[in-house]
Amino acid sequence: MSAHCQLTGARPGFGNKISHSHRRTPRRFDPNVQRKRYWLPSEGRYVRLTLGARAIKTIDAIGIEAAVERIRARGVKV
């Protein structure tokens, strides 16, 4: 599963891990993505979305219908 959010578009960030001796090694900062299933009343079916934790809170605030509209506006198939 790729670590990106379908609603916000959050993707992994890259940087360096810095040890106590200040040596740098590459690392990856992954967003907190979860797979979640929502009932979509307008289509009479469930949709399974890959969302970051912040996006789950956004859906709780704006509703699934508005969220799916935003996802489709970004060009992502639902």
Three-state secondary structure readout of 39-75: EECCCCEEEEEEEEHHHHHHHHHHCHHHHHHHHHHCC
Going by pLDDT thresholds of 50, 70 and 90, the confidence category of residue 65 is very high
Other Cβ atoms less than 10 A from the Cβ of 65: the count is 13
DSSP 74: T
**Between β-strands 33-40 and 13-18, what pairing exists: parallel, antiparallel or unpaired?**
unpaired
Mean pLDDT along residues 16-27: 98
Q: Locate 78 and state its tokens.
A: 């639902």
* Residues comprising the chain, all counted: 78
Least confident window among 2-6, 10-14, 22-26, 68-72: 2-6
The predicted-structure confidence for 49-61, as pLDDT tens digits, reads as follows 999 999 999 999 9
pTM of the model: 0.83
